[in-house]
Amino acid sequence: MEEITQEREREREREREHVSDIKIQINQASQDSESESDNIAEQECIIDINDYEIPTEELDYGRYVDILNIFTIYHKTLYNKNKSANLFDGINYQEPSATNREIEKLYEEIYRYKMAQRDLANAETIDTKNRFINLYNPIEYKNKYLQKETDKLPEDYPFYIVNSGEQEYVSHNLITILDYISSTDWRNIAWSINQINEF
């Protein structure tokens, strides 16, 4: 009987050692995990953008965001809106079809751009193809399309002058202008967009 008791005692001792080993392993794993978390946090703080190649689609998305931001600034300036206003101000979110003036204007400009692209594909001459969608130097535009005294700006298409830095261009399409401004250092230069009726 004494042998059985001693055997049980040894078995319990082995179990205690085993449990103790498990506790040590858990503590070590926990410390390793904390150390690894610290290393990950340190690594995440050091990012060199030059080490990464940004996919083209990400750059395109960034350009679209810039276009929306430029449009918002243009619209706020045009309609004397509060500087903190955004593209979605005044929308009743409870109404699925709700909109606001700014989004309606943006939709109208995108629609004009798409129609100009469609017309561009169906146009008979290159001059007609380019006139309503491209940017022009003002003198070039006048020489090309307004040479005669009877030549006038088409009434169906708005006409804009854009100044950005030292450059001045004209176009019939606001989206083309927004795209052009987004390709500049627009956050750090003075720029303006003005719609005119006569040129």
Residue burial 157-178, b: 16+ Cβ < 10 Å; e: rest = bbbbbbebeeeebbbbbbbbbb
Q: Which residue has the higher pLDDT, 61 or 20?
A: 61
Q: Is the pLDDT of residue 42 over 60?
A: no
Say if residue 148's pLDDT is above 70.
yes
- pLDDT 10s digits, 176-186: 999 999 999 89
Q: Can you tell me which residue has the tokens 């491209």? A: 134
pLDDT of residue 9: 67
Name the strand (E) or helix (H) holding 191.
Answer: strand 191-196
